[in-house]
Structure 1
Amino acid sequence: MYPSFWRIRHVFFRSSGGGGHGCFQPVLSECWVFPDLPYLP
């Protein structure tokens, strides 16, 4: 459902203390916050 890089972004921002939220950043000037998703290996 989500691109593979979304999983990487999600884990990265989550580990950065994003408050249990991932950050989908299609372009450097934008950052869309999505609800926390189940952990994906």
Structure 2
Amino acid sequence: MIKAAGGKGWIDEKQVAIEAINCCEKVGSKLYIDLLAKEIAECL
């Protein structure tokens, strides 16, 4: 959903992805990190 909304220009895809990763990391989920690894690396 993040990529779809970002592709349509509705959201800042990078900012939302980073926020989602921060939230999920706090609860122990690694799913977003796996799915968005390439995009995360490009942001860093």
Q: TM-score of the superposition, structure 1-length normalised?
A: 0.40
Determine which structure has the larger strand proportion and give its number: 1
Q: TM-score of the superposition, structure 2-length normalised?
A: 0.39
